[in-house]
Amino acid sequence: MKKGKICSTLVALTLLLMSVAPMVEPVLAHQVTMGGAIQGGETYGEFNSILVYPNSESSILTRTNMFNMRRFDNWDTSHAWSKSYAPLDGIQSIAPGMEVSLLLLEEPSKIEDFLTKDLEFVFSITNDGENYTVATQDLQYNEGTQTYIYPNEVQGYKLEFINHSSETQAIDSVANVQHTIKLNYNNMSQDQLAGKEPLAYWVDSQFVNQEPKPTTQKIYVIQPKISGQVKYQELENETDAPQWDTAVVKENAVVQLIENTPAGNAVVGETKTDANGQYTFSSLKNNADSYKISNSENSLSVRVMEDNGETWILSDNMSDFVKGNGVSIGRITDISRYDESFETAFAKVRWNPEFKTINEEGSHAVDIKTIITETKEEPQPTELTVRYVDTFGNTIAPNKAVQGLVGDAYDVSTADYKLNIEGYSFKETEGLLMGSLTDEEQIVTYIYTKNPVSPSVLTVNYIDKLGNTIAPSKVIQGHVGDVYDVSTAEFKLEIKGFTFDKIEGVLSGTLVEAKHTVTFIYDKIPANTSELTVNYVDTFGNTIAPSKVVHGLVGDAYDVSTPTFKLELKGYTFKNVEGLVVGKLTQESQVVTYIYEQDTVTPVKPVEPEKPVEPTLPATGMNNSFMVLGSLILTLGLLLIVKEETNKSTRQQ
């Protein structure tokens, strides 16, 4: 397969991968200088993707405007070649944590014919129309591929930005600034670059790496097999006078920690000994001109001087023009003794350092026996709880929380936490009032004793202007200091026949030791009574039911339209009413009359019973007397027969 087809295929695959990659929001923009000679003379094979310097200032990485790459000397087109691609979809900026790897071009055979010795890959930032560059870092193209790790620790810090005139300016907020990605050339001025077409660089597919980077520090334990002295300036608490000392490590190997020039011992770092004998740098001095970073106010170097007089330095790998102003990348953060016997000196740096000889005539580096890499976990948030209880453990005030990170110092002995609680006196505490936050549960408890209290009674009275009680009193029982409030409807009563006039006493407050009262005083309403009579008549005016009377005061409302007054009368049907069935009583007598109509009843004619026919006996010539006599004789005969039968039965026995 031809190289062109392979390139096209790989570019297409890279575009596909980048198009589906999640968008990464920029945090801060940075300029990174990758200096050093470009190694050439070889073909570097196929590429994966490409990064371009756009013609216009833009925050978008693009594949457009890619064209002839020419020699710098005369811009000869004899070795020119061109390619054109679609925009880089899905990639808008380089954010902290990304890896950017530069892979040199496969053509031409001598790459240095087309590139300067000091190539810059620039991240810049624009704020209020001014362009600034920050945090540069050198990279060496020893094998054709280098990776730049975008510095994580710039997040959340206030940086000093350096503009194009090398002046510093503090920018407090950079939340809305945009990245400008471009390629620069140290040996050409901006005027020379104006109108020139940019170089194109192939970039591998690791351009976007969204995995979070751990916060790491490399500790370089320097144990060169040389002899000499460790020199430092120690500042004691009682004096700032220089005091010089010598520390000898194993095998008489030493590390020189300060500037050592023919002019004398210029102090690079000032150290102070704490209670544990640990050396830390409290301030940093400028390096000498012989250092790689000149006139740096915030840089520190570790030098190792061999017994033959050759001196090597472990230094920040930052570019000269940055001058270290306010930039916290790559700096050696601490140089101190490794253990109590000072057998080993070590230096902590955030990024890979360089080892360069001062006179640049040597060809070997410092003999580093051990490299220790520490991964520091991000401090975890934690919380300490301050409780307020009485001697029985009952909560008497809301808890307070001290929030922070593990290791943060706290102090809850102040007035913000030692509260004055009404009705209680402080007794004691449980737990450490001062210390450091941990990842364990921490509780500090303030314990209070309840103050003695006395009972108290408040009486609410209801009287008229003459002092007569017009409603039962109400009583509030509690303790001295308790809060009361009798301004509510529960206590300010509506009393019939009276209107509220005024009050004597305090409506709300706290109960006191002595008994006290609150009195509501009312005006009596004049007693103008009135009545309304409800009558019930038929259409002829005849009373058909007893009257009803409504009693009340003048002005009272009445309603006689209800079933209580509108009666259902048997034999009558309601017809109409005279007078107002709803209204108010007046001083004059009032009458409401319900008029009923008598129900009509149709009379029923009674049916006369038929007259019974008296029975008659046939004419026999005998009258009734003979019939009676006959009946008596018959009865007597029957009795004689019964008696005879009875006597016969007796004789047989």
Tokens representing 255?
């590390």
Q: Which amino acid is at 214?
A: P
CA distance 268 to 94: 35
Say which residue the tokens 């790491």 belong to.
216
Those residues whose C-beta lies under 8 Å from the C-beta of residue 190, and which sit 6 or more positions away, are none
Which residues sit opposite 573 in a β-bridge? 597
With CA atoms as reference, report the closest residue to 30 among 114, 136, 142. Answer: 136
pLDDT score of 565: 94
- What order of strands is seen across the sheet that includes strand 572-578? 543-553, 529-538, 590-598, 572-578
pLDDT score of 526: 74
Q: Which amino acid is at 402?
A: V
pLDDT score of 624: 57
**Please, what are the averages of pLDDT over each run of 10 residues along the chain (653 residues)?**
44 40 29 22 24 28 23 27 27 33 31 33 39 35 32 29 38 30 31 37 25 33 28 34 28 31 31 39 30 28 42 38 28 37 36 37 32 48 94 93 89 92 90 89 93 86 92 90 88 86 91 86 82 93 92 88 92 94 89 93 69 57 58 74 64 52
> What DSSP string describes 56-117?
S--SS--STT------TTT--STT---------TT-----TT-EEEEE--S-SS-GGGTS-S
Count of C-beta atoms within a 10 Å radius of residue 137? 25
Tokens representing 51?
């990064």
CA distance 11 to 205: 10
Question: What is the third-level CATH fold of 37-221?
Answer: Immunoglobulin-like (2.60.40)
pLDDT score of 439: 85
Tokens representing 476?
């509030």
Tokens representing 489?
């409807």
Tokens representing 111?
């790459």
Domains of the chain by residue range? 37-221, 226-375, 381-450, 455-524, 529-596
CA-CA distances (angstroms) from residue 543 to 464, 516, 536, 551? 45, 62, 6, 21
CA distance 52 to 197: 10
CA-CA distances (angstroms) from residue 82 to 67, 105, 121? 4, 13, 21
Tokens representing 500?
């509220």
Which H or E element spans position 617?
none
Buried b / exposed e across 305-336, counting CB within 10 Å, b at 16+? bbeeeebbbbbbbbbbebbbbbbbbbbbebbb
pLDDT score of 548: 93
CA distance 551 to 530: 6
pLDDT score of 363: 31
DSSP assigned state of 406: T
Peptide linkage before 526 cis (omega within 30 of 0): no
Those residues whose C-beta lies under 8 Å from the C-beta of residue 372, and which sit 6 or more positions away, are 218, 219, 220, 221, 346
pTM above 0.75, yes or no: no
pLDDT score of 630: 66
Q: What are the start-end ranges of the E strands in 376-454? A: 381-390, 395-405, 409-411, 424-430, 434-436, 442-450
CA distance 232 to 271: 7
pLDDT score of 396: 93
Tokens representing 390?
């009485």
CA distance 598 to 537: 10
529-596 CATH pick, 3.30.950.10, 2.70.98.10, 3.10.20.320, 3.30.2130.10: 3.10.20.320
CA distance 132 to 159: 11
Question: pLDDT tens digits for 160-196?
Answer: 333 333 344 433 333 322 222 222 223 333 344 344 3
Exposure of 299 by Cβ count < 10 A (0-12 exposed, 13-18 middle, 19+ buried)? buried
Exposure of 204 by Cβ count < 10 A (0-12 exposed, 13-18 middle, 19+ buried)? middle
pLDDT score of 625: 58
pLDDT score of 377: 52
Same fold, 381-450 and 455-524: yes
pLDDT score of 597: 93
Question: pLDDT tens digits for 242-290?
Answer: 322 232 222 223 333 332 222 333 233 333 344 443 333 322 333 332 2
Question: Nearest 5 degrees, angle CA 590-CA 593-CA 594?
Answer: 150
How would you classify the pairing of strands 498-504 and 434-436?
Answer: unpaired
pLDDT score of 610: 66
pLDDT score of 609: 64
Which H or E element spans position 245?
none
CATH homologous superfamily of domain 455-524? Putative peptidoglycan bound protein (lpxtg motif) (3.10.20.320)
Those residues whose C-beta lies under 8 Å from the C-beta of residue 389, and which sit 6 or more positions away, are 395, 396, 445, 446, 447, 448
With CA atoms as reference, report the closest residue to 428 among 440, 444, 414. Answer: 444
Question: What is the third-level CATH fold of 381-450?
Answer: Ubiquitin-like (UB roll) (3.10.20)
